[in-house]
Protein backbone atom coordinates (compact mmCIF):
# COMPACT_ATOMS: atom_id res chain seq x y z
CA UNK A 1 0.00 0.00 0.00
CA UNK A 2 1.43 3.35 -1.03
CA UNK A 3 0.27 6.18 1.21
CA UNK A 4 0.82 9.77 0.16
CA UNK A 5 -0.62 13.01 1.44
CA UNK A 6 -1.09 16.73 0.99
CA UNK A 7 -1.42 19.10 3.90
CA UNK A 8 -2.71 22.65 3.73
CA UNK A 9 -3.60 24.81 6.71
CA UNK A 10 -3.98 21.72 8.87
CA UNK A 11 -6.19 19.85 6.40
CA UNK A 12 -4.44 16.52 5.87
CA UNK A 13 -5.58 14.69 2.77
CA UNK A 14 -4.45 11.07 2.55
CA UNK A 15 -4.21 9.12 -0.66
CA UNK A 16 -4.02 5.33 -0.65
CA UNK A 17 -2.79 3.40 -3.67
CA UNK A 18 -3.12 -0.36 -3.25
CA UNK A 19 -0.40 -2.57 -4.72
CA UNK A 20 -0.92 -5.96 -6.30
CA UNK A 21 -0.59 -7.96 -3.08
CA UNK A 22 -2.90 -5.75 -0.98
CA UNK A 23 -6.11 -7.57 0.03
CA UNK A 24 -8.56 -4.71 -0.49
CA UNK A 25 -11.50 -7.05 0.18
CA UNK A 26 -11.96 -9.06 3.39
CA UNK A 27 -14.61 -11.36 4.76
CA UNK A 28 -15.20 -10.77 8.43
CA UNK A 29 -17.61 -12.10 11.02
CA UNK A 30 -20.10 -9.53 12.25
CA UNK A 31 -20.76 -10.24 15.93
CA UNK A 32 -23.88 -8.08 16.11
CA UNK A 33 -25.89 -9.99 13.51
CA UNK A 34 -23.80 -13.19 13.67
CA UNK A 35 -23.04 -13.44 9.99
CA UNK A 36 -20.06 -13.18 7.71
CA UNK A 37 -19.93 -9.98 5.70
CA UNK A 38 -17.80 -8.58 2.94
CA UNK A 39 -15.73 -5.55 3.82
CA UNK A 40 -13.78 -3.64 1.21
CA UNK A 41 -11.89 -0.43 0.67
CA UNK A 42 -14.71 1.96 -0.13
CA UNK A 43 -12.52 4.98 -0.76
CA UNK A 44 -8.87 5.55 -1.58
CA UNK A 45 -8.71 8.98 -0.04
CA UNK A 46 -9.80 10.71 3.13
CA UNK A 47 -9.24 14.00 4.90
CA UNK A 48 -8.60 14.90 8.52
CA UNK A 49 -8.96 18.50 9.71
CA UNK A 50 -6.27 19.27 12.28
CA UNK A 51 -5.35 22.66 13.82
CA UNK A 52 -4.43 25.15 11.05
CA UNK A 53 -0.77 25.38 12.09
CA UNK A 54 -0.31 21.57 12.16
CA UNK A 55 1.99 20.10 9.52
CA UNK A 56 3.34 16.60 8.90
CA UNK A 57 6.55 17.86 10.53
CA UNK A 58 4.53 18.37 13.75
CA UNK A 59 4.51 14.63 14.36
CA UNK A 60 7.16 11.97 14.76
CA UNK A 61 7.16 9.83 11.57
CA UNK A 62 6.67 6.62 13.60
CA UNK A 63 3.45 8.00 15.15
CA UNK A 64 2.31 9.18 11.70
CA UNK A 65 2.97 5.67 10.33
CA UNK A 66 0.98 4.06 13.15
CA UNK A 67 -1.94 6.41 12.43
CA UNK A 68 -1.85 5.28 8.79
CA UNK A 69 -1.86 1.63 9.84
CA UNK A 70 -4.84 2.28 12.12
CA UNK A 71 -6.79 3.53 9.09
CA UNK A 72 -5.96 0.84 6.52
CA UNK A 73 -4.58 -2.17 8.41
CA UNK A 74 -6.99 -4.89 7.18
CA UNK A 75 -6.47 -3.80 3.58
CA UNK A 76 -2.67 -3.86 3.71
CA UNK A 77 -0.49 -6.54 2.22
CA UNK A 78 3.14 -7.15 3.23
CA UNK A 79 4.35 -3.55 2.71
CA UNK A 80 3.29 0.00 3.53
CA UNK A 81 5.25 2.68 1.68
CA UNK A 82 5.27 6.20 3.05
CA UNK A 83 6.94 9.41 1.94
CA UNK A 84 8.83 9.90 5.23
CA UNK A 85 10.89 7.03 6.64
CA UNK A 86 10.30 5.40 10.02
CA UNK A 87 12.91 4.49 12.63
CA UNK A 88 14.62 1.10 12.30
CA UNK A 89 13.29 0.16 15.78
CA UNK A 90 9.67 0.93 14.83
CA UNK A 91 10.03 -0.85 11.49
CA UNK A 92 11.27 -3.97 13.29
CA UNK A 93 8.53 -3.85 15.94
CA UNK A 94 5.79 -3.56 13.30
CA UNK A 95 7.35 -6.40 11.30
CA UNK A 96 7.47 -8.65 14.38
CA UNK A 97 3.92 -7.84 15.49
CA UNK A 98 2.16 -7.87 12.10
CA UNK A 99 4.53 -9.21 9.46
CA UNK A 100 4.04 -5.89 7.63
CA UNK A 101 7.06 -3.84 6.59
CA UNK A 102 6.78 -0.08 6.84
CA UNK A 103 9.15 1.59 4.40
CA UNK A 104 11.41 3.43 3.92
CA UNK A 105 13.64 3.12 7.00
CA UNK A 106 15.33 6.32 8.13
CA UNK A 107 18.48 5.07 9.85
CA UNK A 108 19.05 8.46 11.48
CA UNK A 109 15.66 8.61 13.15
CA UNK A 110 15.46 7.66 16.85
CA UNK A 111 12.20 6.25 18.28
CA UNK A 112 9.61 8.68 19.65
CA UNK A 113 9.87 9.67 23.30
CA UNK A 114 6.92 11.54 24.87
CA UNK A 115 7.87 14.69 26.81
CA UNK A 116 7.87 14.33 30.60
CA UNK A 117 5.09 16.94 30.84
CA UNK A 118 2.85 14.89 28.52
CA UNK A 119 -0.77 14.05 29.34
CA UNK A 120 -3.07 11.18 28.26
CA UNK A 121 -5.38 11.16 25.21
CA UNK A 122 -8.87 9.69 24.98
CA UNK A 123 -10.99 8.96 21.91
CA UNK A 124 -14.28 10.41 23.05
CA UNK A 125 -17.69 9.55 21.57
CA UNK A 126 -20.08 11.33 23.95
CA UNK A 127 -21.57 7.97 25.01
CA UNK A 128 -21.90 6.60 28.53
CA UNK A 129 -18.76 4.49 28.51
CA UNK A 130 -16.48 7.14 27.05
CA UNK A 131 -17.81 9.69 29.54
CA UNK A 132 -16.91 7.28 32.32
CA UNK A 133 -13.45 6.93 30.76
CA UNK A 134 -13.13 10.74 30.76
CA UNK A 135 -14.25 10.83 34.38
CA UNK A 136 -11.65 8.28 35.45
CA UNK A 137 -8.71 9.95 33.66
CA UNK A 138 -6.80 12.92 35.08
CA UNK A 139 -8.59 16.20 34.28
CA UNK A 140 -5.80 17.44 31.99
CA UNK A 141 -6.34 14.59 29.48
CA UNK A 142 -7.04 15.60 25.87
CA UNK A 143 -10.31 14.24 24.47
CA UNK A 144 -10.76 13.75 20.73
CA UNK A 145 -14.18 13.47 19.18
CA UNK A 146 -14.34 12.23 15.61
CA UNK A 147 -16.65 14.68 13.87
CA UNK A 148 -17.91 12.60 10.95
CA UNK A 149 -18.21 14.42 7.66
CA UNK A 150 -20.65 13.06 5.09
CA UNK A 151 -19.49 12.53 1.50
CA UNK A 152 -19.71 15.71 -0.59
CA UNK A 153 -23.29 16.79 -1.29
CA UNK A 154 -24.79 14.17 1.05
CA UNK A 155 -25.95 13.96 4.65
CA UNK A 156 -25.07 11.32 7.25
CA UNK A 157 -27.40 8.33 7.30
CA UNK A 158 -28.84 7.27 10.68
CA UNK A 159 -26.05 8.92 12.68
CA UNK A 160 -27.05 12.14 14.45
CA UNK A 161 -24.17 13.95 16.11
CA UNK A 162 -26.23 16.61 17.95
CA UNK A 163 -26.11 14.79 21.28
CA UNK A 164 -22.37 14.12 20.95
CA UNK A 165 -21.69 17.80 20.16
CA UNK A 166 -23.72 18.72 23.23
CA UNK A 167 -21.61 16.33 25.34
CA UNK A 168 -18.37 17.81 23.89
CA UNK A 169 -19.53 21.37 24.60
CA UNK A 170 -20.68 20.44 28.12
CA UNK A 171 -17.28 18.94 28.93
CA UNK A 172 -15.51 21.99 27.48
CA UNK A 173 -17.59 24.19 29.81
CA UNK A 174 -16.37 22.01 32.70
CA UNK A 175 -12.80 22.92 31.74
CA UNK A 176 -11.87 19.74 29.88
CA UNK A 177 -9.71 19.75 26.74
CA UNK A 178 -12.07 18.53 24.03
CA UNK A 179 -11.25 18.62 20.32
CA UNK A 180 -13.75 17.90 17.56
CA UNK A 181 -11.76 16.60 14.61
CA UNK A 182 -13.59 16.63 11.28
CA UNK A 183 -12.89 13.65 9.06
CA UNK A 184 -14.41 11.32 6.48
CA UNK A 185 -12.00 8.44 7.16
CA UNK A 186 -14.92 6.15 8.06
CA UNK A 187 -15.56 5.82 4.30
CA UNK A 188 -12.25 4.03 3.78
CA UNK A 189 -14.26 0.99 4.83
CA UNK A 190 -17.38 -0.15 2.98
CA UNK A 191 -19.81 -0.70 4.65
CA UNK A 192 -19.01 2.50 6.52
CA UNK A 193 -17.19 2.02 9.79
CA UNK A 194 -13.79 1.99 11.39
CA UNK A 195 -11.39 -0.61 10.08
CA UNK A 196 -9.64 -1.26 13.42
CA UNK A 197 -9.98 -0.59 17.14
CA UNK A 198 -7.23 2.02 16.83
CA UNK A 199 -8.92 4.04 14.07
CA UNK A 200 -10.68 6.35 16.51
CA UNK A 201 -7.26 7.16 18.02
CA UNK A 202 -5.98 8.56 14.72
CA UNK A 203 -6.52 12.23 15.75
CA UNK A 204 -4.68 11.57 19.04
CA UNK A 205 -1.81 9.88 17.20
CA UNK A 206 -1.44 12.71 14.67
CA UNK A 207 -1.57 15.31 17.45
CA UNK A 208 0.64 13.39 19.90
CA UNK A 209 3.55 15.81 19.57
CA UNK A 210 1.41 18.89 18.92
CA UNK A 211 -0.27 18.60 22.34
CA UNK A 212 2.31 16.39 24.09
CA UNK A 213 0.54 13.07 24.66
CA UNK A 214 1.88 9.92 26.30
CA UNK A 215 -0.99 7.43 26.22
CA UNK A 216 -3.98 6.56 24.04
CA UNK A 217 -7.34 5.32 25.21
CA UNK A 218 -10.96 4.70 24.37
CA UNK A 219 -14.10 3.85 26.32
CA UNK A 220 -14.60 0.20 25.38
CA UNK A 221 -15.83 -1.92 28.28
CA UNK A 222 -15.17 -5.46 29.52
CA UNK A 223 -17.67 -6.79 26.95
CA UNK A 224 -15.76 -5.71 23.84
CA UNK A 225 -12.38 -5.64 25.58
CA UNK A 226 -12.48 -9.26 26.75
CA UNK A 227 -15.30 -10.49 24.51
CA UNK A 228 -17.45 -11.15 27.57
CA UNK A 229 -21.02 -11.74 26.36
CA UNK A 230 -19.75 -11.51 22.77
CA UNK A 231 -17.62 -14.67 22.28
CA UNK A 232 -15.48 -16.78 24.57
CA UNK A 233 -13.59 -14.72 27.12
CA UNK A 234 -10.40 -13.64 25.38
CA UNK A 235 -7.54 -11.58 26.80
CA UNK A 236 -7.67 -8.02 25.45
CA UNK A 237 -3.98 -8.07 24.55
CA UNK A 238 -4.58 -11.00 22.20
CA UNK A 239 -7.87 -10.10 20.52
CA UNK A 240 -8.30 -7.44 17.85
CA UNK A 241 -9.03 -4.70 20.42
CA UNK A 242 -5.50 -4.93 21.82
CA UNK A 243 -3.49 -6.72 19.17
CA UNK A 244 -1.26 -5.61 17.53
CA UNK A 245 -1.98 -2.12 18.84
CA UNK A 246 -0.83 -2.28 22.47
CA UNK A 247 2.69 -3.26 21.42
CA UNK A 248 2.87 -0.69 18.63
CA UNK A 249 1.60 2.09 20.88
CA UNK A 250 4.35 1.24 23.33
CA UNK A 251 6.84 1.52 20.46
CA UNK A 252 5.90 5.21 20.04
CA UNK A 253 5.86 5.83 23.82
CA UNK A 254 2.10 6.21 23.87
CA UNK A 255 0.89 3.02 25.60
CA UNK A 256 -2.76 2.16 25.98
CA UNK A 257 -4.64 3.61 28.93
CA UNK A 258 -8.09 2.03 28.77
CA UNK A 259 -9.91 3.22 31.90
CA UNK A 260 -13.13 1.24 31.35
CA UNK A 261 -11.75 -1.98 29.87
CA UNK A 262 -12.10 -3.85 33.20
CA UNK A 263 -15.65 -2.59 33.81
CA UNK A 264 -18.86 -4.12 32.46
CA UNK A 265 -21.64 -1.91 31.10
CA UNK A 266 -23.37 -2.49 34.42
CA UNK A 267 -20.48 -0.83 36.27
CA UNK A 268 -20.12 2.07 33.81
CA UNK A 269 -23.87 2.73 34.13
CA UNK A 270 -23.52 2.78 37.91
CA UNK A 271 -20.59 5.22 37.72
CA UNK A 272 -22.28 7.58 35.25
CA UNK A 273 -25.43 7.65 37.39
CA UNK A 274 -23.34 8.89 40.30
CA UNK A 275 -21.62 11.58 38.23
CA UNK A 276 -22.51 15.07 36.92
CA UNK A 277 -21.60 13.76 33.43
CA UNK A 278 -24.94 11.95 33.56
CA UNK A 279 -26.62 15.13 32.29
CA UNK A 280 -25.02 14.88 28.87
CA UNK A 281 -23.80 11.28 28.42
CA UNK A 282 -25.82 9.99 25.50
CA UNK A 283 -26.31 6.25 25.02
CA UNK A 284 -27.57 6.48 21.43
CA UNK A 285 -25.77 7.75 18.33
CA UNK A 286 -28.99 8.30 16.37
CA UNK A 287 -31.11 10.40 18.74
CA UNK A 288 -31.18 14.08 19.65
CA UNK A 289 -29.97 15.87 22.77
CA UNK A 290 -31.49 14.09 25.80
CA UNK A 291 -33.73 12.18 23.35
CA UNK A 292 -32.35 8.75 22.42
CA UNK A 293 -33.97 7.38 19.23
CA UNK A 294 -35.63 4.47 21.10
CA UNK A 295 -35.48 2.57 17.83
CA UNK A 296 -32.09 0.81 18.03
CA UNK A 297 -30.54 -2.10 19.93
CA UNK A 298 -28.37 0.29 21.93
CA UNK A 299 -31.51 2.09 23.19
CA UNK A 300 -33.14 -1.26 23.99
CA UNK A 301 -30.23 -2.46 26.11
CA UNK A 302 -29.23 0.82 27.74
CA UNK A 303 -32.76 1.96 28.59
CA UNK A 304 -33.58 -1.35 30.28
CA UNK A 305 -30.28 -1.36 32.13
CA UNK A 306 -30.84 2.22 33.28
CA UNK A 307 -34.21 1.23 34.75
CA UNK A 308 -32.76 -1.82 36.50
CA UNK A 309 -29.85 0.18 37.94
CA UNK A 310 -32.17 2.93 39.19
CA UNK A 311 -34.70 0.44 40.55
CA UNK A 312 -37.36 1.90 38.33
CA UNK A 313 -40.36 -0.20 37.27
CA UNK A 314 -40.43 -1.71 33.78
CA UNK A 315 -44.04 -1.78 32.57
CA UNK A 316 -45.49 -3.95 29.82
CA UNK A 317 -46.34 -1.06 27.50
CA UNK A 318 -42.70 0.07 27.53
CA UNK A 319 -41.57 -3.51 26.87
CA UNK A 320 -44.07 -3.92 24.01
CA UNK A 321 -42.49 -0.89 22.35
CA UNK A 322 -38.94 -2.10 22.88
CA UNK A 323 -39.53 -5.64 21.63
CA UNK A 324 -41.21 -4.21 18.54
CA UNK A 325 -38.02 -2.51 17.34
CA UNK A 326 -36.99 -4.17 14.07
CA UNK A 327 -33.26 -4.19 14.85
CA UNK A 328 -33.92 -5.67 18.31
CA UNK A 329 -36.00 -8.52 16.85
CA UNK A 330 -33.15 -9.40 14.52
CA UNK A 331 -30.40 -9.24 17.14
CA UNK A 332 -32.14 -11.11 19.94
CA UNK A 333 -32.95 -13.97 17.58
CA UNK A 334 -29.21 -14.72 17.25
CA UNK A 335 -27.06 -16.64 19.70
CA UNK A 336 -25.23 -15.54 21.74
CA UNK A 337 -27.10 -12.24 21.68
CA UNK A 338 -24.71 -9.28 21.29
CA UNK A 339 -23.76 -8.09 24.83
CA UNK A 340 -25.61 -11.13 26.17
CA UNK A 341 -24.24 -10.70 29.70
CA UNK A 342 -25.97 -7.30 29.98
CA UNK A 343 -29.28 -8.91 29.04
CA UNK A 344 -28.59 -11.67 31.58
CA UNK A 345 -28.13 -8.98 34.23
CA UNK A 346 -31.26 -7.07 33.18
CA UNK A 347 -33.49 -10.13 33.07
CA UNK A 348 -32.07 -11.54 36.33
CA UNK A 349 -33.50 -8.41 37.95
CA UNK A 350 -36.85 -8.63 36.17
CA UNK A 351 -39.76 -10.09 38.10
CA UNK A 352 -42.68 -9.21 35.82
CA UNK A 353 -44.70 -11.38 33.46
CA UNK A 354 -44.08 -9.94 30.00
CA UNK A 355 -43.80 -12.91 27.63
CA UNK A 356 -40.96 -11.61 25.43
CA UNK A 357 -39.02 -10.57 28.49
CA UNK A 358 -39.46 -13.97 30.12
CA UNK A 359 -38.33 -15.70 26.90
CA UNK A 360 -35.27 -13.45 26.82
CA UNK A 361 -34.60 -14.28 30.47
CA UNK A 362 -34.56 -17.97 29.68
CA UNK A 363 -32.46 -17.54 26.55
CA UNK A 364 -29.82 -15.38 28.26
CA UNK A 365 -29.94 -17.50 31.44
CA UNK A 366 -31.07 -14.61 33.62
CA UNK A 367 -32.98 -17.24 35.56
CA UNK A 368 -29.93 -19.34 36.47
CA UNK A 369 -26.61 -17.44 36.26
CA UNK A 370 -24.90 -15.45 38.97
CA UNK A 371 -24.53 -11.84 37.83
CA UNK A 372 -22.92 -10.05 40.77
CA UNK A 373 -19.43 -10.11 39.17
CA UNK A 374 -20.71 -7.57 36.62
CA UNK A 375 -20.93 -5.02 39.45
CA UNK A 376 -17.19 -5.36 40.04
CA UNK A 377 -13.86 -4.38 38.49
CA UNK A 378 -11.78 -6.96 36.63
CA UNK A 379 -8.51 -5.76 38.13
CA UNK A 380 -6.26 -7.90 35.91
CA UNK A 381 -7.11 -5.41 33.15
CA UNK A 382 -4.94 -2.80 34.92
CA UNK A 383 -2.06 -3.91 32.70
CA UNK A 384 -3.86 -1.88 30.01
CA UNK A 385 -3.42 1.31 32.05
CA UNK A 386 -0.11 3.13 31.51
CA UNK A 387 1.91 2.84 34.78
CA UNK A 388 1.94 6.66 35.09
CA UNK A 389 -1.89 6.77 35.36
CA UNK A 390 -2.63 3.38 36.91
CA UNK A 391 -2.97 4.42 40.54
CA UNK A 392 -5.03 7.50 39.75
CA UNK A 393 -7.54 5.53 37.67
CA UNK A 394 -7.80 2.65 40.13
CA UNK A 395 -8.43 5.11 42.95
CA UNK A 396 -11.22 6.71 40.92
CA UNK A 397 -12.75 3.32 40.05
CA UNK A 398 -12.69 2.14 43.67
CA UNK A 399 -14.71 5.20 44.72
CA UNK A 400 -17.65 3.49 42.99
CA UNK A 401 -16.80 -0.16 42.28
CA UNK A 402 -15.22 -3.03 44.24
CA UNK A 403 -12.65 -5.36 42.66
CA UNK A 404 -13.68 -8.88 41.60
CA UNK A 405 -12.34 -11.66 43.79
CA UNK A 406 -10.90 -14.89 42.40
CA UNK A 407 -14.29 -16.58 42.60
CA UNK A 408 -15.95 -13.76 40.57
CA UNK A 409 -13.30 -14.08 37.86
CA UNK A 410 -13.79 -17.83 37.72
CA UNK A 411 -17.57 -17.40 37.42
CA UNK A 412 -17.16 -14.81 34.67
CA UNK A 413 -14.82 -16.98 32.61
CA UNK A 414 -16.91 -20.11 33.13
CA UNK A 415 -20.33 -18.61 32.37
CA UNK A 416 -19.35 -16.34 29.50
CA UNK A 417 -18.35 -19.09 27.14
CA UNK A 418 -20.05 -18.85 23.79
CA UNK A 419 -18.45 -19.45 20.47
CA UNK A 420 -18.20 -17.30 17.39
CA UNK A 421 -15.38 -16.63 14.94
CA UNK A 422 -13.35 -13.47 15.41
CA UNK A 423 -14.33 -10.07 14.09
CA UNK A 424 -12.25 -7.41 12.36
CA UNK A 425 -13.10 -3.78 12.77
CA UNK A 426 -16.33 -2.34 14.05
CA UNK A 427 -19.24 -0.31 12.78
CA UNK A 428 -19.70 3.32 13.58
Please report how close the Cβ of residue 162 comes to Zn ion at its closest, in angstroms: 13
Residue 311 has a CB neighbour count (10 Å cut-off) of: 7
CB of 328 to Zn ion, least distance (A): 10
Residues 6+ apart with CB under 8 A from 407: none
Minimal distance in Å, beta carbon 294 to Zn ion?
6
Cβ burial of 159 (10 Å; 0-12, 13-18, 19+) is middle
DSSP string, 356-398: HHHHHHHHTTTTTS--GGGGEE-GGGGGGS-HHHHHHHHHHHH
Comparing CB distances to Zn ion, the nearer of 214 and 265 is 265
Minimal distance, residue 381 CB to Zn ion, in Å: 28
Stretch that binds Zn ion, among 55-63, 170-178, 224-232, 277-285 (CB under 5 A): 277-285
> CB 283 → Zn ion: shortest distance, Å?
7
- Does 136 help bind Zn ion (rule: CB under 5 A)? no
105 lies in the binding site for Zn ion (CB under 5 A): no
Nearest to 216 by CA among 253, 155, 257: 257
Rounded to 5 degrees, φ, ψ at 28 are -125, 160
Tell me the residue nearest to Zn ion as measured from the CB: 284
Asked if residue 296 binds Zn ion (CB under 5 A), the reply is yes
Do 27 and 37 form a contact (C-beta atoms < 8 A)?
yes
DSSP string of 140-193, one letter each residue: T-EEEEEEEPPSTT---SS---HHHHHHHHHHHHTT-EEEEEEE-GGGGEESSE
How many other CB atoms are there within 10 angstroms of residue 229's CB atom? 28
Task: Verify binding: residue 305, Zn ion, rule CB under 5 A.
Answer: no
Is-contact 346 357, C-beta < 8 A? no
Residue in 299, 304, 325, 343 binding Zn ion, rule: CB under 5 A: 299
Assess 322 for contact with Zn ion (CB under 5 A): no
| Min separation Cβ 308 and Zn ion, Å | 18
Among the residue ranges 7-15, 111-119, 283-291, 388-396, the one whose residues contact Zn ion (CB under 5 A): 283-291
Q: Figure out which of the listed residues 284, 314, 337, 348 binds Zn ion, where binding follows CB under 5 A.
A: 284
Tell me, residue by residue from 179 to 198, as one string, x for binding to Zn ion by CB under 5 A and - for no binding.
--------------------
Q: Is 331 in the site for Zn ion (CB under 5 A)?
A: no
Q: By CB under 5 A, name the binding residues for Zn ion.
A: 284, 286, 292-293, 296, 299
Amino acid sequence: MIIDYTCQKGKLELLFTPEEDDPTTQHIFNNVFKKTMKVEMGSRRCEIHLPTDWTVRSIHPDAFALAMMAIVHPFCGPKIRLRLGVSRTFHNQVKTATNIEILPINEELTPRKAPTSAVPALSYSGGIDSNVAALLLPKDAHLFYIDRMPPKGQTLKLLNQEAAYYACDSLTKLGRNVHKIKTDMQYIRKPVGFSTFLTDSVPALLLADYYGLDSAGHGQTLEIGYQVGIQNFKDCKHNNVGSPWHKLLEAIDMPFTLPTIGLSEISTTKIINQSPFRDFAQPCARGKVKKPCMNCYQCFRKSLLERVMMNRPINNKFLDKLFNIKEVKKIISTSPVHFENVLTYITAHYNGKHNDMLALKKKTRGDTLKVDWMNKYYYESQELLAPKYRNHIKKEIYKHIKPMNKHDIKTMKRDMGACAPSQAGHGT
